[in-house]
Amino acid sequence: MTSEQHSAAEVLADRVREIIRTSRDDHDLKFLIGTVAEYCEYVASRIEPEKNSADISDELLTAFEAISLLLLDLIGEFPSAVQKQVEAILRDEKLPQRIAEVAAVPSSRRTARQPRGVMKLLYVPLYILTLGEALDGAAGRRADLFALRTALNRLAQILRYASSLDVIQADIQVDDHLRPYYDPTLIDKTKLAALLVILRRQVEGLPDTRVRANLLATVSGMEVELRHRKPKWGTIIAAAFVLFSAVADLKSLSPTTYDAVYRTVHAVITLLHEEASVAQHGRKPLLPMDGHDVAILPAPGLERKEDNDADEQDRDA
């Protein structure tokens, strides 16, 4: 590897470290997809099947597992055709597994450093035999190295195309004049995530395959969005109401089958409503009184008469 190539590899390694170690919300979507595409192109360019050589640093090779998981998260923002192509390449070509096999070979035995002059005639055949044994399994044969390089190039081309698309990422915003009353950022993400886990398990137990797949797609989308550091609350809330309408319709057709799912979705809707209520968060619970052994939280917008009278007495004093 020349000094210029080494410098380019270092720059790429820095960018890969950055997108892996930081939140995806800290970067533009096109930057992330473009970086993954560049990464795939670079790895493919360093694979030489005719020499049984994979001149790639350990850091870049071992990063592929994390990169592939990040990519599966990112492609959810793109059209279904792009998603299916990316998923098919990762799955059918077993890219994470093949890259891991190459990474398992010591770097000194992955790189083709051919002797010069007369020595080249003596040592190249021995070198090929040795590296072929080192790169054992699927990654050790020239045909499989060629297939690996081809798959990486295909993936890079699809991602280059995806990075050129204008993907709408705008969220459904709560108007500023309504935020003093309803603020989704007050929603407890842990509570909502727990409800969605329960809901997903209930949906997985539904007998109708088609209905199960459709509902799971919506629930999974909500879970993925909720895991972001800054979730698109408008998207989550809209999905919850669509899900509620669909499940309510299904319950009218088969009450017993969909009753549990309906009640859980209803709990999700209730949580989204009450947790985001600014008044709900602003009210303080009253101390236990009148024979109650628990604190009492007044209803939204209502104030105890005793509190009003006490306030007036304080002002008069």
For residue range 61-79, what is the model confidence (pLDDT) as tens digits? 989 999 999 898 888 778 8
pTM: 0.50
The encoded tokens of residue 248 equal 């309510």
Per-residue pLDDT of the chain (317 residues), as tens digits, is 555 655 777 888 888 888 888 766 677 788 889 899 999 999 999 898 888 788 888 888 989 999 999 898 888 778 888 889 999 999 999 999 989 988 888 877 776 554 444 444 443 333 333 444 444 443 446 788 888 999 999 999 999 998 887 654 555 566 666 777 888 888 889 999 999 999 999 999 999 989 999 999 999 989 988 888 778 888 899 999 999 999 999 999 999 999 999 999 999 999 998 888 877 766 554 445 555 555 444 444 444 444 445 445 554 55
Q: List the one residue out of 128, 164, 198, 141 whose CA is nearest residue 34.
A: 164
Quick count: other Cβ atoms within 10 Å of Cβ 231? 20
**Integer distance in angstroms from the first to the last C-alpha of the chain?**
85
SS3 252: helix
CA torsion sign, 57 to 59 to 62 to 67?
negative
Q: List the one residue out of 57, 19, 32, 37 whose CA is nearest residue 154.
A: 37
Contact 261, 202 (CB under 8 A): yes
SS3 54: strand
Contact 53, 110 (CB under 8 A): yes
At residue 262, the pLDDT reads: 94
CA 160 vs CA 40, 86, 113, 184, 187: distances in Å: 11, 12, 32, 35, 37
CA dihedral 150, 155, 158, 161 (to 10 degrees): -100
